[in-house]
Amino acid sequence: AQRVTQPEKLLSVFKGAPVELKCNYSYSGSPELFWYVQYSRQRLQLLLRHISRESIKGFTADLNKGETSFHLKKPFAQEEDSAMYYCALSAFSGSARQLTFGSGTQLTVLP
């Protein structure tokens, strides 16, 4: 069965500092990985997906199959980046493709 691990429950950085949110996964197949974000009083929403190799709001994430990691990075954190971040893995289970989420990391960017 697939598993997603986010080792940090809470992470605080100062504005302008680099930030890295860690995500490791275990899955026997070819993984499809995502980062979801939930800002205060807003819905959970997709931030980025590894297959599109895009940078969203300055965030990037590289899939490292050797280390089974998909860490989320931003070189200069902003206060508006404060939110709950979830790493997720998409895999078939039963009759449908499902997302398995990590336990989340609460990021706080301090002024």
Q: Which residues bind another protein (CB under 8 A)?
A: 6, 9, 32, 34, 43-46, 49, 51, 86, 88, 90, 93-104
Q: Which tokens in the block code for residue 85? A: 């971040």
Name the residue type at position 23: C
Which of 97, 88, 77 minimizes the C-alpha distance to 35? 88
Shortest distance in whole angstroms from residue 63 CB to another protein: 14
Burial per residue of 48-59, b for 16 or more beta-carbon CB atoms within 10 angstroms, e otherwise: bbbeeeeeeeeb
Handedness of CA 37, 41, 42, 44 (dihedral sign): positive
Shortest distance in whole angstroms from residue 36 CB to another protein: 8
If the CB atoms of residues 51 and 110 are measured against another protein, the closer one turns out to be 51
If the CB atoms of residues 24 and 90 are measured against another protein, the closer one turns out to be 90
Shortest distance in whole angstroms from residue 94 CB to another protein: 5
If the CB atoms of residues 75 and 91 are measured against another protein, the closer one turns out to be 91
Shortest distance in whole angstroms from residue 20 CB to another protein: 19
If the CB atoms of residues 29 and 111 are measured against another protein, the closer one turns out to be 29
Distance of CA 38 to the CA centre of its chain: 11
